[in-house]
Amino acid sequence: MSPELPFAHLRVLELASVLAGPQVGQFFAELGASVLKIESPAGDVTRSWKTTTETAAAAAQPAADASVSAYFAASNWGKESRVLDLTTPAGQASLHQLAATADLVLASYKPGDAEKLGADYATLSAKNPRLIYGHLTGYGPETARAGYDAVLQAEAGFMHLNAAGPGQPPQKMPVALVDLLAAHQLKEGLLTALFQREKTGRGALVQVSLLDSALASLANQAATYLVTGHDPQPMGSGHPSIVPYGTVYRAAHGRPLVLAVGSDGQFRQLCAALARPEWATDTRFQTNAARVRHREALEMLLTDRIAGMNGDALLADLERRTVPAGAVRSVGEALARPSAVGMLLPEAGGRGAGLRTVAFRSPQWSVVEELEAPPPLRGARPNETDQAPNAGD
């Protein structure tokens, strides 16, 4: 790796699986770290999590490797894979040897399991006091209950809020939202520990739970309950304290679009674009507070007016007027736009393109333009596409 990459000097051991921990591993790989993914003989379970489309494609291409699913590829670019059986003394000895020279360890064991495998912070840091150990759990280090994203979305209030309206069925988000939120919390904790190590020379144990990460992300919805005692209710894609914001409208030619009008000035510009300037002086709509009180009446007017307009032309006019608005796009449409190019990783090793986890840039450092390794086969080192899994070091 280039020395100008921020983490070119770091060695990361990834003992985590599924999504949250591996997302953090790829984050460090994209910024130059050497990341070794330690897998059990069975491999990361997400290697087998395939959509019906993937299964059909694999049947049409028998030679394609079956161990790299799209789900696995979402979080495992730029890594080397090694198989260790940590239930054996030999596997544990190999892990301890690797940890002795590592900077970071990423783990996602249930409380108590790491100790059984000799993979806990106390064991690994005994011979490497500079080691920083990031431990993800579902509900904290004192609760042995396993954490699963869908369950945490339900228990932390997200599914309740993510419904079309009061009395409508709750729904989970279409991505593992809590896992991703926990990954960000772990990154922040590890970066803090790295900063502290520069001052003290000592490593640290960083503990992150999915539950805490979810609760911390309730933001204004949690504040509403804590400040007012009112339990927020589902509103579909609408916003509880801003109108119009988030509602989906459909224009004349079928284009779905959303508005995110956060100020009275923006609302006046919206009314001008809709050729309805009188709405901006209507006492029901002059201020955001008034628009929130008269939400239903305004939404009906907007729905009827936008339904008679060309959506693309309206969006272009709103952009000129600096009114926040956008088209509702599919995932494929979003990734195909020129603005998404910088977030895509090029195809490597015949295993398709990928998506970056690092979304920030700085002129003071570079990012890996092309990661040296695509998502690895189980037990494979970089650029090895046909290596059989190893059972030891």
**Pairwise CA distance, residues 33 & 43, whole Å:** 22
Which residue of the set 103, 120, 149, 179 is catalytic? 179
Q: Which string of b and e fits 288-320 if b means at least 16 CB within 10 Å? A: bebbeebbeebbebbeebbeebebeebbebbee
- Region of 277 (left: φ > 0; alpha: ψ -120 to 50; beta: rest) is alpha
Alpha-carbon radius of gyration of the chain: 25
> And the tokens for 127?
């011979």
CA distance 27 to 182: 13
The encoded tokens of residue 42 equal 């069975």
Q: Is 377 exposed, middle or buried (0-12, 13-18, 19+ CB in 10 A)?
A: buried
Active site residue 282: no
How many Å separate Cα 98 from the centre of its chain? 28
- Catalytic residue numbers? 179
